[in-house]
Structure formats: structure tokens, C-alpha cells
Amino acid sequence: MAYATPFFIFVIFILFTSVGQMSKSKNKPAVILTFDDNWVNQYWFALPILEKNNFNATFFVYCLGMNQGPGLMTSNQLRDLYARGFDIESHSMTHADLTKLNAKKLDYETAQSKTCLEDMVPGANITIYAPPFAQGDDNSTVLAKIRDSGFEFARTGYSKSAHLRCAADWYVTENQSAGCQLYEPGTQKLKLRNLYNLPATDVNSFGRESNQDPVKTQALFEKLVNDGLTYDDAGNLVELSILTYHDLVPTASETKGTGLLQQSFKDQMQYLKDNDFRVLSMRDLQYHPENATFTMPTAGPGP
């Protein structure tokens, strides 16, 4: 019996630790994957990788940028993405900076883009918006117009992560109320973080920052997706990175300062797969107006 007691205590410790770890891991690590600007290499290169890994993603397209040349997607390719189960959402009509437009043009770039894409992709319900250049995150006129145009929430601004309760960023003031409402309750004061201001990270910028060095680019990516994760005490994921990709090119000579090497994208997706990340679309977010918060889906990823 003298030897059984320490063993029994050891077993209880292991079980207790395992239960605690399971509680903290209620949600697996996750990222939201988005693509901007209609680049055709997203269709020819990224799509097979996404499908191979059963990853979901949102393609933010600007409607009048379709069918505009060999470097951009066609409307048939866009419809094929939708048919394969991927999320199609609006990136405006012409890729204009919304903060520089009058009321008429602002309405055209928001409300008309929803109609244009729904006509182009039969069956699609366009409910999420991403302003070009991520501009407008602090502009009440722009955000109110996005809301009034029928969009449920928006990806706007830049940050390493998006908090699903619209908190935790260092620049959120201490007296800001909880939740993701557009305005502070009872006022017309724009909240610093709200459901029309879910910030993303431009992953292409890592290529520029590292001078297209694949090893350095990968290190920046891995740090981002891990540092961006935050869980609450119940193990629910409340903060994660929204990744945004643009042009994906085969050689460094073709990056022209903005593209990301295709090998870097492939390495990044392999890292997410190897480390059991759920890779989701913007539509996978679930908004709850009763308490103005977002939650993650309980099911696994996949288009």
C-alpha cells in the first residue's frame, strides 16, 4: 500500500491535468482565410490547395473587376468557386477608396455591389463587405452606409487579430462598453471596435517585409497565427487572425512589390494543416445581436 498511494496520486494528477487541458482546448486553433481583388492565381493555384486540405475561405471580389483580363478571374470561375462551396462576398464595385466618395458614389460602391454580385452568382446571398484598402474603419459615414446597404458585418482595418467580443485591443478605451455594436449604446458615437470593423492582416506584406525570403516569411506567418489566438476561461476561442491574400506569384521577379510567392502560400497552408488549425470563412462567424458578440462554429472546417 505504501507504493500504491503515490501511484494513485500520480494518476489523479494526470487525469486532472488532461481534463484541464481539454477544457482549455474546447475550440481548436483557427484562422479565417480571405482573398481579395479577383486574382486568377487564387483560382488556379490556391483553390486546389484549399480543397485538398478541406479548408474554407472567403473570396472578396469587386464586381466590375471580373472578366477584365488574363490576370483576373472570370465570372464563370467565380460561379465555380461558389458551386464548390466557398464564400463569395463584396469588395465594392470598382475598388475605390470609400472614404473619398460623395454619398451617391458611396451608395454605388456598397449597395450596388451586393446587387451586382448576386446577379452574377445566382443563389449567392452577399452579406459581408470588405472595403478596398481596408479604409473606413474609423469613419461613421462609411460604416453606417455598409450597414444600411444590407451587410451584416464587415472586414475593415488592419490588426494582427480580431476579437470576437470587440475588446482586447490596446487602443480600446477603458470606458468603452462591451460588445460589437456599431455605436455606443444610446449614442451616435462610433465604437472603436464593432461588427463592421473586424480587422485583418495582409499576409502579402510578410513577403515584402522579408524581401521574399521564404524562411523569414514563414516565421512571420507562424508568429501571427499563434500570437493572434486568445481563449476565455471556458476554452472558447475569442480572438483569432483574419488572413488576407492578394496576388500569388511563382517567382520573386513577378512579385513587383505586392505579390506573395506561391511557395510561401503553400508552406503556410501546410503549417495550418500540420498544426490542426481550423481554416474558416468569414461566413462561418456567427453574430449574436442579443449580446453583440461573435462565436465560432462548433463543427469542423470545410467548404
pLDDT digits (tens, 9 = 90+) for 48-85: 999 999 999 999 999 999 999 999 999 999 999 999 99
DSSP 167: -
CATH number at residue 136: 3.20.20.370
| The predicted structure's pLDDT at residue 174 | 62
Residue 145 lies in a domain: yes
Q: Are strands 128-129 and 153-158 parallel, antiparallel or unpaired?
A: parallel
Residue 7 lies in a domain: no
- The alpha carbon of residue 257 and the mean position of all alpha carbons in its chain are separated, in whole angstroms, by 23
User: What whole-number distance in Å separates Cα of residue 6 and Cα of residue 21?
Assistant: 22
The parent domain of residue 63 ranges over 35-295
Averaged pLDDT, groups of 10, the chain, 303 residues long: 48 44 63 98 98 98 97 98 98 98 98 98 98 96 98 96 81 72 91 94 96 96 97 92 97 88 97 97 96 81 47
Residue 11 lies in a domain: no
pTM attached to this predicted model: 0.90
| The predicted structure's pLDDT at residue 192 | 87
The upper half-sphere exposure of residue 43, i.e. CA atoms within 13 Å in the direction of its Cβ, equals 22
Residue 103 lies in a domain: yes
User: What whole-number distance in Å separates Cα of residue 285 and Cα of residue 32?
Assistant: 9
Exposed e or buried b per residue across 194-227, where buried means at least 16 C-beta atoms within 10 angstroms of its C-beta: bbbbbbbbbbbbbbeebebbeeebbebbeebbee
| The predicted structure's pLDDT at residue 23 | 40
Total domains in the chain come to 1
Residue 141 lies in a domain: yes
User: What whole-number distance in Å separates Cα of residue 283 and Cα of residue 124?
Assistant: 12
User: What whole-number distance in Å separates Cα of residue 25 and Cα of residue 240?
Assistant: 14
| The predicted structure's pLDDT at residue 175 | 63
Residue 15 lies in a domain: no
| The predicted structure's pLDDT at residue 41 | 97
Give residues with Cβ within 8 angstroms of 184, minimum separation 6.
176, 177, 190, 191
Residue 12 lies in a domain: no
Burial-class residue 174 by CB neighbours within 10 Å (0-12, 13-18, 19+): exposed
Alpha helix positions (H), 46-184: 47-53, 75-83, 103-120, 140-148
Residue 17 lies in a domain: no
